Structure 1
Amino acid sequence: MLTIGRSMSTEKASDGQRAEAVEKYSVFTAAEKWCIVAMVSYAAWFSTLSSFIYYPAIRQLSQTFSVPVDKINLTVTSYMAVATVAPTLVGDTADVLGRRPVYVIALSLYIGANIAIVLSDTYAALLGLRVLQALAISGMLSVPVFGGGLTYAAGWTWIFWFLCIAAGSCLSIMTFFLPETSRNIVGNGSIRPSKHLRLPITTLMCHWKDSDVVADHQWRMPNPLKSLTIIARRDNTIIIIACGFLYIIYTCINTSLSVVFIDIYKLNQWQAGLIYLPFGIGGTVSTFFSGPLLNKAYRNARTKQGLPTDMAVADDLDNFSVEKARLGIIWTPMLVTTCSVVAFGWVLHYHQHIAIPLCLQFIAGLCMQLDFSIYNTLLVDKNYRTPAAAQAASNMVRCALAAIAVSFLQDMIDAMGIGWTFTFMGGLSLVAIGLFFVDYHRGTSWRQRSIASLSHQESRSGPA
């Protein structure tokens, strides 16, 4: 009996292992997955890096190219404008062509753009090359500190030499070690891709046999407009615009910091980099309690309606008011954001001690990061079927609005003064509060009507 039991157990285990092998989501080992995530994270870092490391050098760039600050701000605008649309194009292109070639091409263009910026001697070249830089790479708030140090010690050109060196090492690593992972091409990693998609070291991360047939991938034209349908829904539109206004404030603060503080407090480039720390530390601190706060509010909302709190999927979320569950905790941080931004502007206007605006930066950074965390969670809950498309739609709107605002930022400061400029920013925050308030009360009904209308259309288009 014992032998029979063991045989049956062994047979069941073998069957289970075979089933697991067939149904495995990914054939890559845990170590390989960690390596892939590390490489992709390294590459993704350059999009944020290219933006924040640039801010402390704005004043020096203005002097180098003999143009006013608002012209240099236009290079920030151009970067953000391209960053608005590039991810939607690159994302679908990667699905069509594969991940490896897109990473290699993008990083190569990015390295070339950084070298060209270092060698450029005209403002027009700088403006055009920033566009190319964004197009190539747009797919840590401590970074401005490093950018300030480089600018102070070696000049602004070393910002781009650093980006070039770091991106070059990333390109080398990904060329030799990043396998093709697009499920449209290699499935769970067990399908042999075309020769140009394989690693130079053919035995590395190879989970197919030489006898396997090469993947027969159906080519199509990339579609960069997939995420636009998300914006057509009223409940999405209203919160995406609200987030866009918040992002305007966030971007304008970071764009103006070094210029304003250098002018008012006579800081050098190294010190101009350090002034970004309070804003970044505030945002980091918020991450320690934003998750538990969101979870507690969500559980309380579901408990009040007699719903389970362990998990919620499909129709459960469709019929649950995620708007009230999420937005119920946003009012206090939004009001503090508004007050801190306005106070920040007037403290700078009256040239108060530098410690005061730095403390206000910490408060603004903490509250704004909490605002964004609540918003992002709500956006995903509303669009749990298509979260990636929803995030892409949000990025398009917020980057477009911020790009427009930054292009007029210096003109606003010159015409209105720093105090009234940030009072205007506080007004945008109040408008965002109003938009969230509308979604709090009307968002659930709008969302449910859209879902019902979509279900009706699908049922009518189905087989008779």
Structure 2
Amino acid sequence: MDAPKATETMDRYSVFTIAKKWCIVSMVSYAAWFSTLSSFIYFPAVHLLSEDLSVSVDKINLTITSYMAVATIAPTLVGDAADVLGRRPVYMITLSLYVVANIAIALSKSYNALLGLRVLQALAISGTFSVAYGVITDVASPAERGSFVSAVSFATPTSITIAPSLGPILGGALSYAAGWTWIFWFLSIAAGLCLITITLFLPETSRSIVGNGSIRPPKHLRLPISTLMRHWTDIDQSTEHKWRVPNPLKSLLILTRRDNAIIIFGCGLLYVVYTCINASLSVLFIDIYNLNQWQAGIIYLPFGVGGMVSTFFSGPLLDRAYRRARTKRDLSTDKAVGDDLDNFPIEKARLSVIWVPLIITTVSIIVFGWTLHYHRHISIPLILQFIAGLCMQLDFSTKLSDFKIYNTLLVDKNHRTPAAAQASSNIVRCTLAAITVSFLQNLIDALGIGWTFTFMGGLCLVVLGLFLVDYQKGTRWRQERIISDST
């Protein structure tokens, strides 16, 4: 009687229940949140840091640039390590380093210490979001993956919701009430709680180690309380795991595959638009509408609220599109059964819902720019911000709304190495964003506000074209690459 049950367990995509999956995803989303929060919570303290450490604002800005530079590279180190060594040890090491870095910054009294510790802070935490997408691929079948990606997108660097919206407000409030050091005391306390939670409750999920969760992990990867998140028996045998040295160049190899490169570059352009909007928002509103610093922080809220609203329906939208694609091909839509993604046209299943949000995003960004150009009533650009935030977050899932669909598609395309795939995406988008932001003000000065945002809208149309190419040819390219790799 036990054999059929064992076979049934092994055949399921994941042995974790829906409730346990949400607990797991909530924990990794919490960890991923710090990657973005560390940047946005820091901005309001720039002037205070300059005065307290007796250095110029330009030197403090260098600590921001150094953070972004390291954040571009770090996920390549962390992503493949998580695929090889397991999720738990990577989370425990990175969060421990992050807590130490924040405590050291709070205690630091010199600029050189701040600069070096910001590098350590970025190195420790900026790869956690790529590991989070790996965890989702571990526990969620492709049919239900969209909903879980929405949860992580709510917190990660490709999200326009929590950290970018509330980070500046939180940083400003802490700096005003208790001084800039309390920004880092807050981060160390919050990250310490996250570390304790993950140590006690996050099971090892890497499919190369525990399969669908029914294989007993090695002792060093088990939870301290052995009865929690346990789906194996004492008679179960651990499978032999072939260890290898993590290869950070694996993320770069992913970029050489044209089906990956085309959507990663598309996402990079979308991230350029998103970053330019955030970088210019407070400056433009202060200049045009004569706002003070506190009011300039509040204007980020419509963008974030729109993104938060999108999370309530973007996941189910993705899942319905996936089920519809499966049904048309007379394939099973059982969420508990794994899918042969190598042969399934996942590009059409995911991208079929991106076109309308992406077009609305394009239009709203262009109109937003011209309302600022002609100094229309402040309520108009704020409403347009909400619309852009709503659609962009839906796109990144598909773009910032596009980002959720995009993130889901990327992990589906690279379901064997999802963390490394996310790291490769991070390299492209952060590099493009850093280059573009460096001459953003020059672009505004040369073209004017209206034409600058029209240019950004044009980038969105380029992205639409890239995604359309992947929609038409991505499946064939991916299958050709798989055949080539197997020979």
TM-score (norm 2): 0.72
SS of residue paired to 2:219: coil
- The residue matched to 2:66 in structure 1 has which SS? helix
Indicate the residue corresponding to 2:463 in structure 1: 432
Go from structure 1 to structure 2 and tell me whether the alpha carbon gap of 1:415 and 1:441 turns closer, same or farther (over 3 Å shift): same
Task: State the match for 1:334 in structure 2.
Answer: 358
The 3 A distance-change label for structure 1 pair 42 and 436 is closer
Query: Is residue 238 from structure 1 mapped to residue 262 from structure 2 by the alignment?
Result: yes
Is residue 2:119 matched to residue 1:131? yes
Deviations 1:374-420, CA, capped at 9 Å, x for gaps: 22343345445554443332233222222333343345446655444
What is the aligned partner in structure 1 of residue 219 from structure 2? Answer: 193
Q: What letter corresponds to residue 243 of structure 1 in structure 2?
A: C
Distance 2:94 2:258 in 1: 35
Q: What does residue 318 of structure 1 align with?
A: 343
Of 394, 398, 422, the match for 2:425: 394
**Alignment match of 1:286 (pick from 310, 318, 323):** 310
Cα distance in structure 2, aligned partners of 1:261 and 1:392: 34
Q: 1:62 to 1:340 in 2, by over 3 A?
A: farther
Q: Does the residue aligned with 2:397 lie in a helix, a strand or coil?
A: helix
Distance, in Å, in 1 between the alignment partners of 2:266 and 2:256 is 15
Shift of 1:209: 11
Query: Matches of 1:292 and 1:28 in 2, distance apart?
Result: 20
1:113 aligns with 2:144: no
Give the corresponding residue for 1:277: 301
Residue type at the aligned position of 2:184: F
Cα distance in 2 for residues equivalent to 1:23 and 1:295: 21
Partner of residue 143, structure 1 = 166
Q: Does 1:354 align with 2:345?
A: no
Aligned partners of 1:43, 1:73: CA distance in 2, in Å?
25
Deviation, structure 1 residue 302 = 6.7
What residue in structure 2 maps to residue 158 of structure 1? 182
Query: For the Cα contact (< 8 Å) 1:148–1:271, is it kept in 2?
Result: no
Per the alignment, do residues 310 and 175 of structure 1 end up closer, same or farther by CA in structure 2, a change over 3 Å counting? Answer: closer
Q: Could you say what secondary structure the match of 2:396 adopts?
A: helix
**Does 2:430 correspond to 1:408?**
no
**Partner secondary structure for residue 343 of structure 1:** helix
- Quickly say closer, same or farther: Cα 1:34–1:247, change in 2 above 3 A: closer
CA distance in 1, matches of 2:186, 2:91: 19
1:420/1:62 CA distance change after superposition, 3 Å: farther
Contact 1:183–1:189 (8 Å) recurs in 2: no
C-alpha distance 311-134 of structure 1, shift in aligned 2 (>3 A): same
Deviation at 1:189, TM superposition (A): 6.8
Residue 133 of structure 1 deviates from its aligned partner by 0.9
Bigger radius of gyration: 1
Match of 1:343 among 367, 372, 377: 367
Map Cα deviations across residues 58-97 of structure 1 (whole Å, 9 max, x no partner).
Answer: 565567665456x655544433332233223223334555
Q: Which letter maps to 2:166?
A: V
Q: TM-score, normalised by structure 1?
A: 0.75
Deviation per CA, 1:184-209: give whole Å up to 9, x if none.
Answer: 67785745525xx677x677759799
Q: Name the % identity.
A: 68
Distance of 2:251 and 2:5 partners within structure 1: 39
Report the CA distance between 1:295 and its aligned residue. 5.2
Tell me if 1:83 matches 2:108. no
Q: Is the 8 A contact 2:79 2:422 kept in 1?
A: no
Q: Is the partner of 1:353 in helix, strand or coil?
A: coil
TM-aligned CA distance change 1:15 to 1:406, over 3 Å = same
Cα distance in 1 for partners of 2:298, 2:451 equals 25
Deviation by residue 1:104-154 (Cα, 9 ceiling, x = unmatched): 432232123223333455655544332211111121244323233323433
Which shows bigger deviation, 42-51 or 322-331?
Answer: 322-331
Q: Paired residue for 2:407?
A: 376
Structure 1 residues 243, 218: closer, same or farther in 2, change over 3 A?
Answer: closer
Q: Deviations over 1:411-454 (max 9, x none)?
A: 54466554444333223223222322333444344334334434
Contact 1:193–1:214 (Cα < 8 Å) also in 2: no
The alpha-carbon deviation at position 238 of structure 1 amounts to 1.4
Q: AA paired with 1:111?
A: V
Aligned to 2:195: 171
Tell me how far apart the structure 2 counterparts of residues 429 and 26 of structure 1 sit (CA, whole Å): 37
Partners of 2:30 and 2:299 in 1: CA distance? 25
Query: Tell me, what secondary structure is at the counterpart of 1:352?
Result: coil
Structure 1 residue 243, shift from structure 2 partner: 0.8
- Please, what is the CA RMSD of the aligned residues? 4.3
Say if 1:234 and 1:446, in contact at 8 Å, map to a contact too.
yes
Alpha-carbon distance change, 170 to 290 in structure 1, aligned in 2, over 3 angstroms = closer
Are the counterparts in 2 of residues 318 and 448 from structure 1 also a CA contact under 8 Å? yes
Say which SS state the counterpart of residue 318 (structure 1) adopts.
coil
**Closer, same or farther in 2 for the Cα pair 1:423/1:155, shift >3 Å?**
farther
